[in-house]
Amino acid sequence: MKASILRAAVGMAALLGASGMTAAPLQSPTPPAARLMALAFPGWRDDEAGRLQTATLPHLAGGVHGGHAGWHEGANRVLALPGPVLRIDATHLILIAGLVPAAPDGSRAAVPQLTPMALAARRFERRGDVWRTSGSQDVFALRGFAGSARLRAAALSRRHQGVAVEYGSCFDGYCGTWLALYELDKDTVRHEPVVELALGGDNLEGGADCARRLQPLRKPQALAVAARGSDAALDEHDCYAIESSWSIDTGRAQPGDLTIRYQGTMSRADEHTAAPVAIDQQQVLRYESGRYRAVSGFNPVPPI
């Protein structure tokens, strides 16, 4: 039995050779992001001194909410941080790197709140058993606050890959989290996100009464914050605390539906003396012409 299997394998190899066909390369394990960073950025190593690099920032419109403090067009001294590794096929990879402006001494000092993280990409190709750099994509987006954002791979379908960027911050007691989703176009990340939306938010510290108004539906630890801020009348503002989770239907050839489930509680300004209302709802967005657009439900997170 084993001999017949061996003969069949040898015969198939001979047939492929005679016809000019070659067997498809086997998919090797994906190298760790740190190893790819060392290939893509000269002298890079995973410590504070080794992360110091120079990156070129092209002209990018906007930024995060119109701000890109800490960055200037042209060469910037940055700390390069490893992000997700996207598998294109058996022999091609893309590494997403997060870049943060470095302090004059090369350290990661505190940066202004409106300083976003810059996102760049590096391409790799496997030749034999060795991975080599095959191209680079300069900064394609600025997202995040205080130089921080969470980056992860996000499959949009069986054939389409993407990069999810989640980030958040607080302004005068109003806190929010956002999602920006970028699509891969062959071996390049598109500059414009296919969707950008609020994932959650709260104003527990934005008004002296919000923690009390939301208390019946909030966990005790979420209320252990010192309320501060607004002296406005209690009926002049909404109080809310909302979070969410999201998923993409990846079972299709084209990018699948994006579903976001929102949960939390809200006390409307015109009903501030009543018990808060529980929020448990979902919104569905569908991919059309390169963008995700809402087809059902709505986003209950108030704008900041």
The predicted pLDDT at position 5 comes to 39
Mean local confidence (pLDDT), 74-95: 95
Give the single-character DSSP code of 281: E
* 68 vs 73: which has the higher pLDDT: 73
Calculate the alpha carbon distances from 45 to 50, 265, 290, 302 in Å: 4, 45, 37, 42
Model pLDDT, residue 217: 64
The answer, yes or no, to whether residue 1 has pLDDT greater than 60, is no
Quick one: pLDDT at residue 28?
79
What is the rounded average pLDDT of the residues 266-273? Answer: 86
pLDDT tens figures, 207-247? 778 988 898 665 544 433 333 444 445 557 899 999 999 99
Q: What is the pLDDT of residue 39?
A: 97
Beta bridge partners of 135: 123
Do the Cβ atoms of 158 and 250 come closer than 8 Å?
A: yes
Q: Does residue 43 carry a pLDDT above 90?
A: yes
Tens of pLDDT, residue by residue over 136-192, are 998 999 999 999 999 999 999 998 999 999 999 999 899 999 999 999 998 899 999
3-state secondary structure at position 21: coil
Instruction: Say if residue 10's pLDDT is above 80.
Output: no
Q: Mean pLDDT across the chain, nearest whole number?
A: 84
DSSP three-state, residue 59: coil
**Residue boundaries of the structural domains of the chain:** 27-145
pTM attached to this predicted model = 0.83
| Tokens of residue 262, six digits | 């929102």
Confidence (pLDDT) at 149 = 97
- Which of 268 and 105 is assigned the larger pLDDT? 268
Tokens at 131, concatenated: 């991975």
Is 271's pLDDT higher than 60?
A: yes
Q: Is the pLDDT of residue 89 over 80?
A: yes
* Residue 20 in this model has a pLDDT that exceeds 90: no
Which backbone phi and psi does 38 adopt, to 5 degrees? -65, -30
The mean per-residue pLDDT over the stretch 37-44 comes to 95
pLDDT value at position 222?
41
Which helix (H) or strand (E) segment is 153 a member of?
strand 150-155
Q: Is the pLDDT of residue 134 over 70?
A: yes
